[in-house]
Amino acid sequence: MTGWRLPVLLACTAALVAGCASQPRSSGGSGGAPSPQASKGGGYYQNDGPPDDENIDLDAVPDAIPRDEPFSRYGNPDSYEALGKTYYVLDSAAGFSQTGRASWYGKQFHGRRTSSGEPYNMFKMTAAHKRLPIPSYVRVTNLDNGKQAIVRVNDRGPFHDGRIIDLSYVAARRLDVVTHGSVPVRIETVTPASLRAEQRSQASASRQQARAATPRPPQRQARPQPPTSPTPQSNRATQTGNSPGRPIRVANRIGTADTGLYIQSGAFGERGNAQRLKARLRNAGFGKVTVVPPQGEASLYRVHLGPFEDERSRALNRQILVEQGFSARDVNR
């Protein structure tokens, strides 16, 4: 189960909060001791768990279908605080991906209000995330078994170190998370346009496989043609297009102006160690990573990310770095 969740953001109006059925909670529920399953590294706790009747036809529960929806009236402040930490909500879910652990929540919260204002339904393919806009759609892949499901993000959480997404009960069942409590996953945002593109690509690949499997009739051998005398035009080398030896012009993409706002993710006495951290950051999807050589009295190779456009952008990237296990501290240059 999740560690701490925030079913309703603190940014809600007083009237909304007063009408909400759930508040921030701990993984242990209302003081109850964890079940034997939970003590093995996950699972559900005494005050939560699956429904009383677990005989559910999962094949009858479809994935969430991505739709173009306006952002929810509730649950999308620029930033909010939960359990002493500040979280920044993304302006857009486009291109977002993340790797970490998924947990789930069940009957204790069934029917209670989520951060979006909608009631939580553990029999729908939904999820909670700390920073994605509400609503968003993500494909969740269980990295242990390769199973996938598309869920609709309509809630905030989980506020437990190492957890990146909290799944509804049926989504957790679909991915085989319930029996383990938490599992390693990769999440990627899905939009109607990206889903259509995937479907077209899959259809095209299927057609190509079908054509490759179809035997072709033998080709008739062409009659030999008499040689033709070369013309002056055919003997001339073509000098147009991207012919060998001709350079191809590539637009130079210039980043934002140097605002002096950077994040330092590491400092090393050896340049090779700094280069390895730079490669790890780039592989994790971070751009604008540079190794700053020793300067003045500083004898260390520093790994910097930036410059960032403003303080909010720097704070958001700092939070993402920490969530993915990297060191991060603000520096100004």
Residue 20: partners with Cβ closer than 8 Å, 6 or more residues away: 7, 8, 12, 112, 113
Give 152's pLDDT tier (boundaries 50, 70, 90).
Answer: very high
Please give the sequence-ordered ranges of beta strands (E in DSSP) within 90-237, or none if there are none: 97-104, 126-128, 136-142, 148-155, 163-167, 183-189
User: How far apart are alpha carbons 293 and 80 in whole angstroms?
Assistant: 37
Residue range 67-88, pLDDT digits in tens: 999 999 889 999 999 999 999 9
Please give the mean pLDDT across all residues of the chain: 77
Q: Are residues 185 and 275 in the same domain?
A: no
Residue 77 belongs to a domain with what CATH number? 2.40.40.10
Average pLDDT (195-203) is 76
For residue 135, what pLDDT band results from cuts at 50, 70 and 90? very high
Residue 119, preceding bond cis, omega within 30 degrees?
A: no
Domain boundary among 192, 222, 252: 192
103-113 average pLDDT score: 92
In terms of average pLDDT, the best of 40-44, 123-127, 214-218, 266-270 is 123-127
Please give the pLDDT value at position 55: 82
Q: In this structure, is residue 201 part of a structural domain? A: no
Q: Which of 147, 168, 192 is a domain's end point?
A: 192
Both 180 and 305 in one domain: the answer is no
- Each residue's pLDDT tens digit, 309-330: 899 889 888 888 888 888 899 9
Q: Is residue 51 part of a domain?
A: yes
Is 203 inside any structural domain? no
- Asked whether residue 300 carries a pLDDT value surpassing 60, the answer given is yes
- pLDDT per position as a tens digit, 263-298: 999 988 889 999 999 988 888 888 889 999 998 777
* Per-residue pLDDT at 252 exceeds 70: no
pLDDT of residue 220: 64
116 domain-assigned: yes
**241, part of any domain:** no
The residue from 192, 218, 248 where one domain ends is: 192
The full DSSP string for 27-39 is: TTTTTPPBPTTGG
Percent helix, strand, coil in the chain (nearest 5)?
20, 20, 55
**Number of domains within the chain:** 2
- Whether residue 4 lies inside any domain: the answer is no
Q: Cis link prior to 36 (omega < 30° from 0)?
A: no
Per cent of the chain over pLDDT 70 is 74
Q: Of all helices (H) and strands (E), which one includes residue 233?
A: helix 232-235
Percent of the chain with pLDDT over 90: 41
> Which range has the top average pLDDT, 26-35, 77-86, 223-232, 243-252?
77-86
What is the CATH classification number for the domain harbouring 285?
Answer: 3.30.70.1070
Looking at the chain, the number of H-run helices and the number of E-run strands are 6, 12
Q: Which domain holds residue 151?
A: 14-192
- Above 50 in pLDDT, residue 215? yes
Among 54-58, 177-181, 199-203, 261-265, whose mean pLDDT is lowest?
199-203
